């Protein structure tokens, strides 16, 4: 017999994130669990909104995939119940072409949406894009930026936003949109650029996600046409956060 050869032991593959999958279609959940597991996600699935709330209160998840149409407690109800206290990113699943569900979900705090039916590869791409954005705003030991435009102050390290003395709670997507506008204050940022930089995907026809996030920011920050600064819509071009001199 030959001398036994020592083979290097490969380290286990790094897990992507722990995912809470909320959908009452059990067959779909099983399929997605197998697909996401192969992509190195750790998946826990539940099948109604009440179960989702219990799971979120009992454990930590990197991201939630939340269907709108759920028995007993709907996906919208889950978002309302969680309110501003949650920090876990949420990707909502909606009926394809249902703009109302998409807008309501974003207004209630979802970070992004995906219409059914969808390609699992697109789901994975969306998840990774959201997680990258969430990771980029995680508290860091150093190098955090403190941005200020007029009374608006934003800290990328602590993920805190204030308008004067008032603390503002934003979703991850809203925070990223505001950060981009503040870094380029006085300059027009196209909807395409905002979508790519804030949501991590390309803008497609009839996608109004950025417009909804902008509307949420205006409401939460208390900005309107009499405000200085103001988030202005430059027709045909994009959005700009005005400066005191604008």
Give the CATH number, domain containing residue 191.
Answer: 1.10.10.10
Instruction: Please give the pLDDT value at position 168.
Output: 92
Question: 105 and 174: one domain?
Answer: no
Write out the two tokens for 177. 């949109």
Three-state SS letters, the chain: CCCCCCCCCCCCCCCCCEEEEECCCHHHHHHHHHHHHHCCCEEEEECCHHHHHHHHHHCCCCEEEEECCCCCCCHHHHHHHHHHHCCCCEEEEEECCCHHHHHHHHHCCCCEEEEECCCHHHHHHHHHHHHHHHHHCCCCCCCCCEEEECCEEEECCCCEEEECCEEECCCHHHHHHHHHHHHCCCCCECHHHHHHHHHCCCCCCCCCHHHHHHHHHHHHHCCCCCCCCCEEEECCCEEEECCCCC
Give the CATH number, domain containing residue 86.
Answer: 3.40.50.2300
Write out the two tokens for 89. 């990113």
The alpha carbon of 188 is separated from its chain's Cα centroid by a whole number of angstroms, namely 23
In a domain, 198, yes or no: yes
Instruction: Please give the pLDDT value at position 134.
Output: 73
In a domain, 1, yes or no: no
The list of the chain residues with pLDDT below 70 reads 1-14, 83-86, 96-97, 135-144, 224-227, 244-246
Question: 111 and 28: one domain?
Answer: yes
In a domain, 7, yes or no: no
Q: Is residue 243 classed exposed, middle or buried when 0-12, 13-18 and 19+ CB atoms within 10 A define those classes?
A: middle
Domain that holds residue 93: 18-136
Instruction: Please give the pLDDT value at position 15.
Output: 73
Other Cβ atoms less than 10 A from the Cβ of 154: the count is 22
Instruction: Please give the pLDDT value at position 58.
Output: 87
Q: Which of 77, 102, 136 is the last residue of a domain?
A: 136
Question: 126 and 200: one domain?
Answer: no
Q: Sign (positive/negative) of CA torsion 111, 144, 150, 229?
A: negative
Q: Which of 136, 171, 186 is the last residue of a domain?
A: 136
Question: 154 and 126: one domain?
Answer: no
Q: Residue 220: CA atoms inside 13 Å, Cβ hemisphere, count?
A: 21
Other Cβ atoms less than 10 A from the Cβ of 233: the count is 13
Q: Is residue 109 classed exposed, middle or buried when 0-12, 13-18 and 19+ CB atoms within 10 A define those classes?
A: buried
Question: 27 and 124: one domain?
Answer: yes
Instruction: Please give the pLDDT value at position 72.
Output: 85
For the chain, how many structural domains are there in total? 2
Q: Say if pTM beats, i.e. exceeds, 0.75.
A: no
């Amino acid at each position: 017999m030959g001398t036994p050869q020592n083979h290097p032991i490969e380290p286990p593959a790094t897990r992507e994130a722990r995912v809470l999958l909320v959908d009452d279609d059990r067959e779909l959940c099983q399929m997605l669990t197998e697909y996401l597991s192969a992509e190195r996600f750790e998946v826990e699935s539940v099948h109604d909104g009440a179960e989702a709330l219990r799971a979120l209160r009992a454990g930590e998840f990197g991201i939630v995939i939340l269907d709108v149409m759920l028995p007993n407690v709907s996906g919208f109800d889950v978002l309302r119940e969680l309110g501003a206290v949650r920090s876990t990113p949420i990707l909502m699943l909606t009926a394809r072409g249902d703009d109302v569900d998409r807008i309501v979900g974003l207004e209630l705090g979802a970070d992004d949406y995906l219409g059914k039916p969808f390609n699992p590869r697109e789901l994975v791409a969306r998840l990774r894009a959201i997680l990258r954005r969430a990771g980029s705003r995680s508290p860091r030991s150093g190098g955090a930026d403190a941005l200020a435009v007029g009374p608006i102050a934003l800290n990328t390290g602590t993920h805190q936003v204030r308008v004067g003395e008032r603390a503002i709670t934003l979703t991850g997507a809203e925070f990223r949109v505001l950060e981009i506008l503040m870094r380029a204050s006085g300059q027009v940022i196209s909807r395409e650029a905002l979508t790519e930089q804030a949501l991590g995907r390309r803008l497609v026809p009839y996608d109004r996600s950025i417009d909804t996030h902008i509307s949420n920011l205006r409401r939460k920050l208390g900005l309107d046409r009499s405000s200085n600064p103001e988030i202005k819509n430059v027709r045909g071009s994009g959005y700009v956060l005005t400066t005191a001199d604008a």
